[in-house]
Chain A
Amino acid sequence: MSQARVPAPLMALAGLGLLLFLLPFAGLVVRAPWGQVSQELLAPETATALGLSIFCSVTATAIALVLGIPLALILSRTTGTLRSVLRALTTLPMVLPPVVGGVALLLAFGRRGLIGAPLYQLFGVQIPFTTTAAVIAETFVAMPFLVIAIEGGLRSLDHRYEEAARALGANSWKVFARVTLPLLRPAIFSGAVLCWARALGEFGATITFAGNLPGRTQTVPLAVYIALESKPDGAIVLSLVLLAVSLAILIGLRDRWLGEP
C-alpha cells in the first residue's frame, strides 16, 4: 500500500504535539528515584492502592458498558431537540470540574442527599466513604467517554445489515444482539478503553465523594496526591507504576480484542 506524504508543516505540528505528551513522561522517568523503585513496589500500601484502583476502574467500566451501550443506542436513534438535550446531559460530567461532580454526588447519594437520605433513614445505608462510592464516582466521570464513542460508532454503522436481518424475520432484540453488537465491536472497545483509562486516573470526584482511606477509597491517584507533599519520591514511583500497568493492560487488551498487531 502506498502512503500519501504528510505535508512538512503538519509533520512539525504533530512533532510538537507529541513532545507535549512525551516531555512530562520523560520528566517522570528522569526524576524517578530508580534505586527506591523495588522498595516502593513492595510496600504494602502500593499494592493496596493499585489493587483498589484496578478493582474500581474495571467495575466502573463494566457498569458503564451495561448502562452506556443502551444509552448510546437511544441517543443515536433520537433527533432534534430531544437529542441535543440528552447529549448535553450525557456529556455534562465531561465538562464539570470533577470536584464539583463529587459535591453533586454527595447532594444526591449522601446521607442528606436526594436518594441518599431515604436510603439512610429507611435502611441505614451510607454510600459516602465506601468503595461503592469510589466506583460510583468513577462511573459518573468516565461513562460519557464510552457513550460518546459508541454513539459515534452507531451513527457510522452500515444499517443495511440490520435491515436485512429484520427482513429475514429477526426480532429487535435478536437484531441488536446478533447484528448491531458484533458490528459495534471496535467502537465498544475504544469506548471501554477510554472509559477505563479515565476511571483509573479519576481523582477529584473520588476524593470529594468517597474520601481518602487506604484500602477502602484510596486509589492510586489519591495516594499519589497525598504522597506528593510528604514523600515526593514515592509519589513519582507510584505514578510510574500506574503508567506501566495502564500501558501493559492497554497493549495486551488491544491484541486480544481486535486481533491487530
Chain B
Amino acid sequence: MTVFAAASLQPAFDKIAAQLYVDATFNYAGTQTLAAQLTQGAEADVFASADKTHMKTLLDAGLIAGAPEVFAHNRLEIAVAKGNPKRIHSLADLARPGLVVVLADPSVPAGKYAQQALAKANVTVHPASLEPQVTGVLSKVALGEADAGIVYVSDVITSQKVQGVPIPDSQNVVADYPIAALKNAQHNSTADAFIAFVLAPDGQSILKAAGFEPA
C-alpha cells in the first residue's frame, strides 16, 4: 500500500504504520507536490493533505473514492532558537529590523497560512527567504541561520533544536488535514483499514502526541 502524505505528518504516520503492522510505503512531501504528482498519474492508495484546497483539486479531477474526512487540525507557531535569545513573543516582533525571518512560500499551505496569520495580526514582515517546504523553514531556524520562522505546532514538537512561541487564537489559522482513498487504489481493504485507524481513538492519540489537534 502506498500513502501520499503531507510532510508535516511524517512523525505521526510512521508511528501509526508501526502500530498497525501494515506494509506501507510513504511518500512524504509538500502537499502541493503530492497533488501535482497524483494529477500527473502517480499511483497511490491513500492521500493525506495539509489543506482542503488540494484535496478538492483531486476531487474535481475525479481521483478520490468516497468523501474525504478531516482527521486532524494543526496550528501555526513561531519557531525560534532554544532559549529564545532574540526575545520574540508575538507576530508583531517579527517586523523588528535586523531580524532574519524565514517563511514558507505562499504556494505551500504553510506559507499561505502564515500570510493569513500575519494579515490578521496586521504585521508586515520582510522575509529573508520563502522556502518551498515548511521543513526548510524549520531547518533554517534549527541551523541558526534564521532568527525566526512560522511553522506548524507539530513541527516544533518534533524538533530538538527549536522552541515554539504561541500565536494567539485571534491571529492563528487552523489547518484542516483531510484524508481519502484514491479511486485507482490497488489495495482497497488495507487503505480503508489505515484510514479507519487514523480516525479511531488510537490513531487520534498518536496524532495528538505529535502536536496535532484531534478531529
Contact = CB atoms under 8 A, between A and B. Distances in A.
A232 interface: yes
A112 B144 contact: yes
A212 B131 contact: yes
B127 interface: yes
Interface string B99-115: 01010010100000000
A213 B132 contact: no
B211 interface: no
B32 interface: yes
Interface residues of B, number: 20
Contacts of A229: 30, 32-33, 35-36, 107
Contact of A129 (B30, B33, B129, B132): B129
A106 B30 CA distance: 23
B193 to A, nearest CB: 31
A169 B32 CA distance: 68
Contacts of A210: 129
B200 interface: no
Contacts of B143: 106, 110, 112
B115 to A, nearest CB: 14
B130 interface: yes
A213 B125 CA distance: 13
Contact of A217 (B35, B36, B100, B129): B129
Most chain-A CB neighbours within 10 Å: which of B36, B107, B128, B136? B128
Most chain-B CB neighbours within 10 Å: which of A126, A211, A230? A211
Contacts of A217: 129
Contacts of A129: 100, 102, 128-129, 145
A211 B33 contact: no
A217 B128 CA distance: 9
A206 B110 CA distance: 22
Nearest to A230: B107
A225 interface: yes
Contact of B130 (A110, A128, A212, A228): A212
B34 to A, nearest CB: 10
Contacts of B132: 207, 212, 225-226
Interface string B24-59: 000000101101100000000000000000000000
Contact of B32 (A110, A211, A214, A230): A230
Nearest to A128: B145
B129 A226 contact: no
Contact of B129 (A110, A126, A213, A225): A213
Interface of B: 30, 32-33, 35-36, 100, 102, 105, 107, 127-132, 136, 140, 143-145
29 contacts: A106-B145, A110-B143, A111-B144, A111-B145, A112-B144, A129-B100, A129-B102, A129-B129, A129-B145, A207-B132, A207-B136, A210-B129, A211-B102, A211-B129, A211-B131, A212-B129, A212-B131, A212-B132, A213-B130, A214-B130, A225-B132, A226-B105, A226-B132, A228-B36, A229-B36, A229-B107, A230-B32, A230-B107, A232-B36
